[in-house]
Amino acid sequence: MNIAIVGTGYVGLVTGTCFAEMGVNVTCVDVMEEKIESLKKGIIPIYEPGLEDMVHRNFQAGRLRFTTDLAEVLDEVEVVFSAVGTPPDEDGSADLKYVLEVAHTIGRGINKYILVVTKSTVPVGTARKVKAVIQEELDKRGVEVGFDVASNPEFLKEGNAVDDFMKPDRVVVGVESEEARRLMEKLYKPFMMNNYRLIFTDIPSAEMIKYAANSMLATRISFMNDIANLCELVGADVNMVRKGIGADSRIGSKFLYPGCGYGGSCFPKDVKALIKTAEKNGYRMRVLEAVEEVNETQKTVLFHKLAKYYPDLAGKTIAIWGLAFKPETDDMREATALVMIGLLTGAGAKVRVYDPIAMPECRRRVGDRVEYARDMYDAVVDADALLLLTEWKEFRLPGWNVLKKLMKQCILLDGRNIYDAVELKEQGFVYECIGK
């Protein structure tokens, strides 16, 4: 089976590579010539565990190809996945210009039946727009060529994307024809050998499912952050509260961990986009508006905790462990670290940072506003406080005696609740976390 994936970002590259791993002939397409040439040389533009080896293996086997020209492969493929970016517009709604550009290219170039599948996270109604654009281009050419559109939202977790794709807990596909259903079933059958988890819906429902899922998860996080902040005020322990409510089978324990705010490419963008979709249809998503507000405030929590110890931060050295929005990725989109760096440098503090993977990305975004440490211990030399923002494994069990010798003041503010308060007190640290 021959398919094309348009867009070699996070979703596109993982999707294309995983399909190739199952024996599908995949052509990955991107307009950025430099990126395509790098991929041909084995240089992977994103960090994702296990992806690089899989790309190399399938490229060498000839099942994975890279090109800048979608038009040249349209006669060869049965399915085209659109996995291009949908960045937030100025008003927070999803910008569909790249999605529609792909549709224009397909309409101008197809000569036989093709299934066009939207993989990007897009608002409800996007498939209808894609269909109209393709048909418009066919009408301009004066030709009749059959095609279908479908929606296949991704549910990949950064840091675990390859495993999520290869062993999905569900695959959602929105279709409007039997032929589209047949092709998608054929494509995903190799992933369903042990457990059939393919869910077929109409297209608007598939488009809505992704937004609704991410918004629900974001809601759980913001709710627990709200509860954590209240716990601090009333003297409760949010970890005990979390375990107590998570034991209720109706609630469950996942996504109940408080922290210093969520980030990444999905949750913030999708919450905003769903709010805007509602507004355009004359409805207010009041719960999601609150979710967004709580999250933005939560990103500043550690700064306000720090202000209790240093009302004036001018000239203070503050160390930060963790820059990516979560472990096992270099993604800093909407990361708490960006907010924190802005607040600290704005207050006159000297900021020294360390992250196992995201240092180059931080340099690209922040430049020389911060000092870049060689390792986690170099970051804390003569530091007046240490802020833990990302729960990388290597931060879980540091040498406390080493930290005490290196730091000017032993103040540790834990934004992810990974340390034991009793142990830190015994070690002589001033320790604060979220929610207790």
Question: Nearest Cα to 270, choosing from 336, 330, 209, 204?
Answer: 209
Assess whether 90 and 234 both reside in one domain. no
Helix (H, G, I), strand (E, B) or coil at 263: coil
Task: Indicate the pLDDT class of residue 184, thresholds 50, 70 and 90.
Answer: very high
Which residues sit opposite 79 in a β-bridge? 3, 115
Assess whether 125 and 264 both reside in one domain. no
Buried b (16+ CB within 10 A) or exposed e, 343-366: bbbebebbbbbbbbbbbebbeebb
Assess whether 422 and 339 both reside in one domain. yes
Strand ranges (E), 23-126: 25-29, 64-67, 79-82, 114-118
CA distance 423 to 400: 10
* Residue 18 falls in the annotated catalytic set: no
Percent above pLDDT 90 for the chain: 89
Candidates 18, 28, 231, 266; catalytic one? 266
Assess whether 264 and 401 both reside in one domain. no
Q: What is the pLDDT of residues 188-240, one digit of tens each?
A: 999 988 778 899 999 999 999 999 999 999 999 999 999 999 999 999 999 99
Supply the range of the domain harboring residue 184: 2-201
Assess whether 63 and 181 both reside in one domain. yes
Q: Where residue 265 sits, what CATH number does that domain have?
A: 3.40.50.720
- pLDDT greater than 70 at residue 158: yes
Assess whether 288 and 310 both reside in one domain. no
Assess whether 343 and 426 both reside in one domain. yes
Last residue of a domain, one of 297, 324, 352: 297
**Number of folded domains that form the chain:** 3
Assess whether 124 and 110 both reside in one domain. yes
Assess whether 277 and 347 both reside in one domain. no
Assess whether 324 and 216 both reside in one domain. no
Q: What is the pLDDT of residues 4-47, one digit of tens each?
A: 999 998 899 999 999 999 999 999 999 999 999 999 998 888 88
